[in-house]
Amino acid sequence: MYFEQGAGCRIRDVDGHVYIDYLMAFGAQLLGYAREEVDAAAMQQLRRGSLLSLNHPLHLELIEALLPRLPGAEMATFFKTGSEATTAALRLARACTGRRAVVRAGYHGWHDWCLPLERFVPSGLDSQVLEFRASDPDSLKSVLQTHGPDVAAVILAPEMVVPFQPQIFHELLAITRAAGALFIMDEVKTGLRIFPGSICERIGLVPDLLTVSKALGNGWPLALTAGSRRVMSSGAGMHYSATFHGDTAAMAACLSAQRLAAAEGTLRHIEELGQKLIDGLNAMTRELGVTAEAYGEPLPAMPFFRFTGPDPARAALLTRWFYREILARGVLLHPRHLWFICGAHTSADIDHSLDMCREALTATLGLLAD
């Protein structure tokens, strides 16, 4: 599909069809598309020359605004994408510990280390990038019992812990620290989106490093890696700079977006609407006798819906038909990627989307019966 315009929570394709969007540029739109105040702040910075030769006062202004919102963060450095931020976090961890291997759970970006088993990355990465099951602390304990002395860091994408269980995060942190490794929370998706500010803040967790990106600039590309002074100082003299990391247009957008989100109570709003969508979908499938579930991945601001049951082929068929039918009714939902509620969604949007889901699901069941 090709889209040409977005406004608020709606997006229009090149054929003129308008959809209520629950993908929101894969989470990059916290407030909604084309938020005037955010884009105006970025444009004003562009007119001043947004990328200058060396440092800019806005670099410090933004870091000082964000650090108090990130548990344990005393220093930070900026990037353009989440993949860069997570890769930098691992480089910092290796520099700090003197170790080389890492253990991961979840999606952390497109760089080679994130895909150690693929044929198109350098060989040998699979021996340096190990995996564990996010909801199973014993699986991490097992990996570290074998490889612990070589492991620099454990990196976790918190949306992998489903259902959401705060005690699991604390247990994973304790297991990691016991092995002498650093614990990295990859909050690229959840940071500054989950009420009251992040998964870490919500559960009282203080990681060694934290990565944030999608919710920062409301569509303007920005990411950061933050952490304790002890760990971040390990980056002194280490190369992770790039030409566009100092771009200030996205930083101006971020300052504006975060001020608006705080003033408008956006994080509480999107959690409440996400819960309403989840509850409505679950009530609907129970009423219609469909084996499916809606849930937060990991919390309601990031909902998802999937067909379940003992027959994978039937679930796949229901998925294909339902998502085709709901798209035809003007609601953009993704069948494989978690969804995002934004500040521009309203309770009326949720009600209309649920009505369209009911129509789409009824039509799907009719097709299945035929």
- The angle, 0 to 180 degrees and rounded to 10, between the axes of the packed helices 249-264 and 36-47 is 150
CA distance 134 to 143: 12
Element at 156 (helix H, strand E): strand 151-156
State the average pLDDT for the chain. Answer: 96
Which distant-in-sequence residues (6+ apart) come within 8 Å of 123 by Cβ? Answer: none
Which distant-in-sequence residues (6+ apart) come within 8 Å of 280 by Cβ? Answer: 350, 354, 357
CA distance 221 to 56: 17
Tell whether the model's pLDDT for residue 369 goes beyond 80. Answer: no
Q: What is the pTM of this model?
A: 0.95
- Residue 142: band (very low, low, confident or very high) from pLDDT cuts 50, 70, 90: very high
- Whether 201 contacts 333, CB under 8 Å: no
Identify the CATH number of the domain defined by range 3-32+265-369: 3.90.1150.10
Domain range summary for the chain, segments of one domain joined by +: 3-32+265-369, 36-263
Tell whether the model's pLDDT for residue 237 goes beyond 90. Answer: no
Identify the CATH number of the domain defined by range 36-263: 3.40.640.10
pLDDT in tens, 5-16: 999 999 999 999
Which distant-in-sequence residues (6+ apart) come within 8 Å of 85 by Cβ? Answer: 79, 188, 211, 212, 213, 223, 224, 225
Residue whose pair of structure tokens reads 């989100």 in the numeric block: 261
**What is the percent of the chain where pLDDT is above 90?**
94
Element at 306 (helix H, strand E): strand 303-307
Q: Please list the residues that pair with 12 across neighbouring strands.
A: 5, 18
CA distance 235 to 237: 6
**What are the Cα distances from residue 316, in Å, to 83, 196, 283, 332?**
30, 36, 21, 18
Which distant-in-sequence residues (6+ apart) come within 8 Å of 76 by Cβ? Answer: 63, 66, 67, 70, 224, 225, 226, 227, 232
Instruction: Give the model's pLDDT for residue 370.
Output: 66
**What are the Cα distances from residue 17, in Å, to 4, 9, 13, 360?**
10, 14, 5, 17
Tell whether the model's pLDDT for residue 307 goes beyond 90. Answer: yes
